[in-house]
Amino acid sequence: MFDNLNIFEEDFWAINETLSGLLTSANVLTALLIDRAGQLITSAGDTSKIDMASFASLSAADYAATSQLATLIGEREFKTLFHQGEAENIYVSLVGTRVILVVIFDKRSTLGLVKLRVGQVARELSSVFEKIFTKLERPTRATAGIDADFASEAGSVLDDIFG
């Protein structure tokens, strides 16, 4: 069990190091990783002005809505989104199939540089997350011997107990 925790801690630090590198290489203000359900995974940079829970939730909803728009025009999905503001911009990219990378940048950077660096970082993070998801989906020693009959019986007993 503790070996798995160490592996996940190493993954966490690798992810944060990659995001920190993105901040400097693309000269962006903030980078956030969000799951498709709208939960914040981690962030780097200045988040002091952001309600993180709302921002994460709205970013995931924005990506989901845009994916539906893609479907309506015959695309499977859009891999990236861009929102241009007066002072700050938001660039959104899918990392693998389950994680969304949101980058906030201002006039100190350019869309071209952000797109280039985010593309590189998304590929790096995609391999890290695939390893994490593989670890999470792999049965542990504690659950490896539990078959479907046992799980069904346990569920029935719990239903009887808790009504």
The domain tally of the chain equals 1
pLDDT digits (tens, 9 = 90+) for 119-130: 999 999 988 888
- Residue 151 sits in which domain range? 2-162
The CATH number given to whatever domain includes residue 106 is 3.30.450.30
Full-model pTM? 0.77
Residue 5's pLDDT is: 41
Amino acid at site 36: R
Mean pLDDT of 5-12: 68
Tokens of 50: 């952001």
